[in-house]
Amino acid sequence: MNITSAQYIQSEMDNNPTAVKAVIEGSTVFVPLDPANRHYSEIMRQVEAGTLTIQEAE
Amino acid sequence: MSKARQLADLGNVYDDGALSNRNRIINGAMVIDQRNGGSSVAFTSAAYKLDRWVGAVGTATGTTIQRSTTSATGFSNSALITIGTGASPVAGAVNRIYQVIEGYNISDFAWGTASASAITLSFWVRSSVTGTFSGALYGASTIQSYPFTYTISAANTFEQKTIIISGPTTGTWNSTNGAGVYVNFDLGSGSTFKTSAGSWTTGTYIGVTGSTNLCETTGATFYLTGVQLECSDTATPFEHRSYGDELARCQRYYFSSDEADSLLLSFGDVTSGDSTYFTILHPTTMRTGPTITLSNESHSGFDGITVFRNYATRWAGYDVATSTGRGYFQFEYVADAEL
């Protein structure tokens, strides 16, 4: 799975990140922080492998 | 088949506990195609195509897949795979079409125990190539596979195949919302993923050593429909479900809003810097929190939608006004909770 960027999403209603905005296979997607979600699982696999970094929320 | 035989088989299925909801395969008749609506699309890198069906034939460039209206008697559709430029697979090649059955939907199989139930896989297949084809089931939580073979005897003719598989008495099998079992139809995987047929064996396999590699034949066609996997040691007639029922089952894993006009979500007077929040319910509870992809997004007086909460039942987003006065935003979206 080709993931070229990832950044946490945090709304003004939340004090903590609730999702990840990522570019996967060229498309911008919003991924829940849910290990059962295959995209989040792959993001975390790549983070652990050191090939991807999730940027902090703006 | 005689009526007496049919009644005997039905009685056997009753003994096994299911007269309805027998088929654990979703979209086995290949009717639902939310992503492509029947269009022919590339089938060369692993991705979901017809609903719930995933795979690729990366070895043969130019290979395509589509929902076809050519099908077996009693069916309206099939999945048609057309090989592009034929080539031999390297050892590690994975060429297949498959479906991952959710753990909840095999939890009654009692796999991994002494009471493991047998299952029966039946399907209709047609190919321009004859020979011994293969496939395999394997688990997600445990590394066990059951490779099987079937023979396509006549070219370009639909034939029904039945595979009876004993239940594995060892291993751990997912029984919740994760991947339960992978049901693979091999289209020419490499030797790494092939072994002997007919028993549960340690390892992840997709097919059987020596079976036909469809990917080697330029222009070869492969149709698949009427796929049924049931908790029984007897094949029963395909369980036709209503279109709405089948679509709802698919939407547990994937939903496309897919309307001609984008969903107008907000129209009115706004103040620059203020956020407009919204929540959208999924048409059915999804397997898990889905990935949301927005499309056809347009807006006036807003800076663009951010999705910040994705749950199995709903998702929420917001858009921040960039000017004061009349404003709006609209979009389409896809929710993806596939395995």
Instruction: Look at residue B103 and give its three-state secondary structure.
Output: helix
Task: Give the pLDDT band (50/70/90) at residue B125.
Answer: very high
- Burial group, residue B91, by CB count within 10 angstroms (0-12, 13-18, 19+): exposed
| CA separation, residue A13 to residues A41, B228, B277, B308 (Å) | 25, 46, 10, 10
pLDDT at B6 over 70: yes
Of B289, B292, B294, the CB nearest to A34: B289
* Neighbouring C-beta atoms of residue B155, cutoff 10 Å: 12
* B residues 130-189 closer than 8 Å to A (CB): 177-178
Lateral strand order in the sheet of B179-186: B47-48, B54-57, B95-102, B179-186, B131-139, B144-152, B201-202
pLDDT of B13 over the 70 cut: no
Mutate to test the interface with A, among B282, B292, B309 (most CBs of A within 10 A): B309
Tens-place pLDDT, residues B31-47: 999 999 999 999 999 99
pLDDT higher than threshold 70 for residue B284: yes
Query: What mean pLDDT, rounded, does chain B reach?
Result: 94
Q: CB–CB of B134/B125 below 8 Å?
A: no
The pLDDT value recorded for residue B18 is 63
Query: How much is the pTM?
Result: 0.94
CA distance A50 to chain B (A): 23
Chain A residue with the nearest C-alpha to that of B338? A38
| Helix-, strand-, coil-residue percentages of chain A, each rounded to 5 | 20, 35, 45
Provide, as residue numbers in chain A, all residues whose Cβ is less than 8 Å from the Cβ of B289: 32, 34, 36-37
- A6: number of CA atoms within 13 Å, CB side? 22
Higher per-residue pLDDT: B266 or B28? B28
Model confidence pLDDT, tens digit, residues B152-171: 999 999 999 999 999 999 99
- CB atoms B178 and A10 under 8 Å: no
Check whether B14 has a pLDDT greater than 80: no
User: What is the interface size between A and B, counted as CB pairs within 8 Å?
Assistant: 65
Backbone φ and ψ for B32, nearest 5 degrees, come out as -95, 130
Find the helix or strand (DSSP H, E) in which A56 lies: none
Q: How many CA atoms lie within 13 A of B237 on its CB side?
A: 12
Q: What is the pLDDT of residue A11?
A: 81
Residue A29's pLDDT is 98
What band does B137 get if pLDDT is binned at 50, 70 and 90?
A: very high
Identify the residue among A2, A7, A11, A44 best suited for mutation to test binding to B, counting B beta carbons within 10 A and taking the highest. Answer: A11
Asked if residues A25 and A39 have their Cβ atoms less than 8 Å apart, the reply is: no
pLDDT at B143 over 90: no
Question: Which of B278, B337, B332 is closest to B309 using CA atoms?
Answer: B278
pLDDT score recorded for residue B138:
97
Task: Determine the Cα–Cα distance for residues B23 and B12; give it in Å rounded to an integer.
Answer: 15
Residue B331 · residue B314 · CB < 8 Å: no
Q: What is the predicted ipTM?
A: 0.97
Q: Evaluate if residue A14 carries a pLDDT over 90.
A: no
Chain B CB within 8 Å of residue A27 CB: yes
